[in-house]
Amino acid sequence: MNPADGPFDRLNLDRERVGRLLATLVVGAFLTAMLYYPVASVLVEAVTDDGRPTLTPVLTVLTDPFYTGALASVLAAPGTLLAGLVAWAASGFAWPGFGLVGFTAWQALLSTVASVALGLPGAYVLARFEFRGRETVRSLTAVPFVLPSIMVAVGFVATFGIQGTVSDAFAAVGLSRFSLVFTLELVVLAHAFYNAPLVVRIVSAAAERLDTRTLEVARASGASRWRATWDVLVPQLVPALGTAALLTFVFTFQSFAIVLALGGLELATVEVWVFSLVRSFDLQEAAALAAVEAAISLALTYAYLRYEAQQARSTSGPTLDRIRFGEASPLARRAVGAYGLLAFVVFGLPLVSMVAESLFGPNGLTLRYYRFLVEQQATAASFQTRPLTAVRNSLVFGAGTLVVAVPLGVTVSLLTARGGRLAQVGGTLAFVPFAVSGVVVGLGLLQSLVFGTVVFGHRIVVTGAVAIVAAHAVGAYPFVTRSVSPLLARLDPSLPEVARASGASRLRALWDVELPLVAGGVLAGAAFAFAISVGEFDATVILAENSGSYTMPVAVERYLSERSLGPPSAMGTVLLVVTAASFVVIDRLGGAFDG
Amino acid sequence: MADVRLSGVEKRYGDTRALGPVDLHVDDGEFFTLVGPSGCGKTTTLRLVAGFEAPTAGEVTIGERSMASVPPEKRDVGVVPQQYALFPHMSVRENVRYPLKFRDPPGGDADARVDDLLDLVGLTGLGDRDPEDLSGGQRQRVALARALAPSPELLLLDEPMSALDARLRERLRREVRRIQRELGVTTVYVTHDQEEALAVSDRVAVMNDGRVEQVGTPREVYDAPATRFTAAFVGENNLFDGEVVERVAGESVPAADGGQPDSLARVRLDRLDATVTVTHDAAVGAQAAFSVRPEAFTLAAGGGEHGNTFTGQVRETEFLGTATRLTVDCGDVSLVVRLAADAIPSGTVTVEFEPDAARPL
């Protein structure tokens, strides 16, 4: 080798590796600033006091009966466990109460049961029957991913509140009005609205992957149809059901906006309580409680990831035949019809009711609630929430989120799609936004960026608006990555290689070949990111506190507390339109190269 | 055009050695094939030449120029990968034209060059199609045209036929060979199909377990396999572990390499006694392995000169069209024998082979 070729040429060959390293560093820096450092600062707050490490804040939370109920005394003095159990048995196993954390888990469990109960029949219908609109229904099960939670809450108030559709119907037939708002039932039902479609999606997908040859072998071995189903098909579906249930539990354990709007402080979950502590500037207790919550959520998420990783991958082979709905037995058709009605009440009615509330005033059809949205309200005092400002902020933050989250998500995909150790680490870290609640991210950004951080002697302070974009971007980029990565992973690795052998540099090959081929995924990811930004509530409500940076969901929540459904419904409807449009884009483009 | 040289080339992934050390030389204008079972390192070798991977040790040179730290886009190679890797978002024409964005076509006119290439590979008039509307064979031709577009000094083909059915494969390999001859481009071809390798190549490198077992013309590799692996992998063979029992006095044959004459010896092949040619220095008691092609056997006319006759029971008969393949059990040893198609013996059969049909390994 010519010695003059030396290190520079060696560097030349490794340029791709250098590029990947740089990209990794940039991504890492962004995520550190926007996510890991802020979240860590919250968790550190929980275990330090004036810079000294201490477990006191966390222990205070854990041993406070308000938070952990019957467990508090056990945690404070583990030796009393046995005596406690004996006393419990003596009391006839009375419901002991496990405080705020226990209640949070309890409502999550109820929500999981409700979601599974509501979702399983749907999964069965999708997997078993062939009917017109089946694909549409299946697409719609992805809608909850993009629907803003606070908007759903408005829909549920519009349906089950004292002025709601159901109450109106009761009144119309002479029954007394009633309200389910601020009841656990409504919170659970709203959670089912979100998560039953998830159950449908995961379980029906697994059912459609079933290899029916296993069923045939079982039948040929002598099992009856039911016995074969029980022995062979059900065990193959249990993992999918477990996955769906675990995810539902994780999501509803962290639920915030729905509980805040439909349950209030009476039915507060950990997340709502953290928020109320932040609002009353009790930051250390908020941090300690958030740390406890994050620990539980991370453990649950880890369990979920481990469990999911064990699941068998899709099989190839003949799959379950679907019967035409028209040819099903009358009993089955009636059962499905009844389920369809129930599904409409839970999934359709809240949205319909909300849109109706936004269009009908006391004197019939009106657009005044929409006019309210665009009025400047020059007379409003500055602390009031101006609708047009909220709309404008939402759009600006949405655009900002696109600018940050799309390049970030695509870069993470490029770095991780081809597998390897980096991909594993990246994949796990990408799940952190799922595991850490929005309130914790918001609190972290508030403490670290808005209040300022000293880096190398410079004090770095950003405005609430920038922090909000950061919060939205960290919540949104995993969806970009998840939209792009599967397409990228499916690309023939020879494609960029051929481009390079043709004379293209690595970046040129990326631009000419890989990016055009995953463009559908990038656009779908962008739509996802926009929808998530526009609908994000948990972090935004913390960061927008006492500032003019409030967004539509924050405004909806503030209007909702004013007891008039017109304005929040109108704004909720705008949110619905924006997120539904995003969903259409995702649905059309997300599977562009699926075939 | 250019020659290719690999000197002491090794590729390791962590502690596992995927390849090497390998030394190879591909002559200018030669059609050179790397053949071996999957995992033998043939594709890795090709990727090292293309520059998709860097060798852990050793050096690749193309046309006397060291390729150390030369990225693929600076190598002037054309590549046809396994599944063609046609750019799905580009038409046939755009695919073939793509390399001409970076390299000047011979003649300077890119559009004319693309037309010429489509003519060359027999796709005249299909330039505006999408790749997905083409058949497998047509896709393969587009990939070939794209690789050849800038008139590279080196053409690299990685199992280009593996996705095609057998009949089409044979036709296309003849066509690839014709085009290669016409252009005279140095070509490295990777395949796991030894028959394909023998059919198309000027020279063949048989690879196994990351190493080159033998390099030679198809004839040499077939007729004179140098190793047990080559003997078993290229064509069908009867392999024997032998021991020299007795030198046959007075008879010798000129050595292939012009050295001391080889001589005949009685050798025990597994449990069969036979007279075969051994090197002059093979002492009594020396171990030696031999291979005998199935087609080297003939039905014994009775009392062969050297007594290489074996009698056994026909266990299996396969009619192959041009020949009949027999499995003959001679005691504990099974012989695979290939006879003319019209000879279909059954029951007890006696076969024989000439002493020089047994190739020492």
Residues A345, A427 share a domain: no
Q: Which of A343, A366, A389 is the last residue of a domain?
A: A366
- Of the ranges A93-97, A270-274, B117-121, which one carries the lowest mean pLDDT score? A93-97
Gyration radius of chain A over CA positions: 26
Structure tokens belonging to residue B40: 């033998």
What residues of chain A lie within 8 A of the CB of B87, using their CB? 495, 498-499, 512-513
Q: What is the DSSP string of A366-413?
A: --HHHHHHH---TTS-TTS--HHHHHHHHHHHHHHHHHHHHHHHHHHH
pLDDT at residue A410, rounded to an integer? 92
- Asked if the peptide bond before residue A567 counts as cis, ω within 30 degrees of 0, the response is no
Q: Tell me how far apart the alpha carbons of residues B130 and A364 are, in angstroms, rounded to a whole number.
A: 57
How far away is chain A from the Cα of B242, in angstroms, using its nearest Cα? 47
Asked if residue A89 belongs to a domain, the reply is: no
Q: Tell me how far apart the alpha carbons of residues A105 and A102 are, in angstroms, rounded to a whole number.
A: 5
Asked if residue A37 belongs to a domain, the reply is: no
Share the mean pLDDT of chain A. 81
Residues A395, A361 share a domain: no
Q: Which of A366, A389, A417 is the last residue of a domain?
A: A366
What CATH number does residue A557 fall under?
1.10.3720.10
φ, ψ (nearest 5 deg) of residue B100: -75, -5
- Of the ranges A54-68, A395-409, B41-55, B79-93, which one carries the lowest mean pLDDT score? A54-68
Asked if residue A83 belongs to a domain, the reply is: no
pLDDT at residue A346, rounded to an integer? 86
Nearest to B76, CA basis, from B184, B160, B151, B169: B151
- Chains A, B: CB pairs < 8 Å: 89
CA–CA distance from A213 to each of A131, A209, B20 (Å)?
24, 12, 45
CA torsion B195-B197-B201-B202 (nearest 10°) is -90
Please name the member of A494, A502, A517 whose beta carbon is closest to the beta carbon of B88. Answer: A517
Structure tokens belonging to residue A63: 């041993």
Asked if residue A65 belongs to a domain, the reply is: no
User: Would you say A537 and A261 are in contact if contact means Cβ atoms under 8 Å apart?
Assistant: no
Residues A350, A388 share a domain: no
User: Would you say A62 and A75 are in contact if contact means Cβ atoms under 8 Å apart?
Assistant: yes
Asked if residue A44 belongs to a domain, the reply is: no
Residues A346, A403 share a domain: no
Q: Which domains does chain B have, with CATH numbers?
A: 4-233 (3.40.50.300), 238-360 (2.40.50.140)
Dihedral-angle region of residue A525 (phi above 0 means left; psi in -120 to 50 means alpha; beta otherwise): alpha
Residue A309's CB is within 10 A of a number of other CB atoms, namely 7
Residues A547, A466 share a domain: yes
Q: Tell me how far apart the alpha carbons of residues A121 and A204 are, in angstroms, rounded to a whole number.
A: 10
Sign of CA dihedral A37, A43, A46, A52: negative
Residues A424, A552 share a domain: yes
Asked if residue A79 belongs to a domain, the reply is: no
CA–CA distance from A381 to each of A377, A435, A545, A553 (Å)?
9, 38, 16, 20
Question: Domain range for residue A190?
Answer: 97-366
pLDDT at residue A379, rounded to an integer? 47
Asked if residue A63 belongs to a domain, the reply is: no
Residues A385, A349 share a domain: no
Residues A335, A208 share a domain: yes
pLDDT in tens, B165-197: 888 888 899 999 999 999 999 999 999 999 999
Residue B12, H or E segment: strand B4-13
pLDDT in tens, A64-76: 777 777 666 666 6
Asked if residue A382 belongs to a domain, the reply is: yes
Residues A148, A277 share a domain: yes
Residues A193, A123 share a domain: yes
Please name the member of A10, A497, A500 whose beta carbon is closest to the beta carbon of B69. Answer: A10
Residues A394, A357 share a domain: no
Q: Tell me how far apart the alpha carbons of residues A476 and A20 are, in angstroms, rounded to a whole number.
A: 22
Q: Tell me how far apart the alpha carbons of residues A389 and A552 are, in angstroms, rounded to a whole number.
A: 9
Q: How confident is the model at residue B306 (pLDDT cuts 50, 70, 90)?
A: low
Structure tokens belonging to residue A27: 């991504």
Share the mean pLDDT of chain B. 87
Q: Which of A345, A366, A387 is the last residue of a domain?
A: A366
Q: Could you give the number of structural domains in chain A?
A: 2
Q: Tell me how far apart the alpha carbons of residues A70 and A99 are, in angstroms, rounded to a whole number.
A: 7
* Smallest CA–CA distance from A15 into chain B, residue: B71
What residues of chain B lie within 8 A of the CB of A516, using their CB? 89
Q: How confident is the model at residue A305 (pLDDT cuts 50, 70, 90)?
A: confident
What residues of chain B lie within 8 A of the CB of A13, using their CB? 54, 68-71
What residues of chain A lie within 8 A of the CB of B156, using their CB? 501
pLDDT in tens, A492-528: 889 999 999 999 988 899 999 999 999 988 988 898 8
Residues A576, A553 share a domain: yes
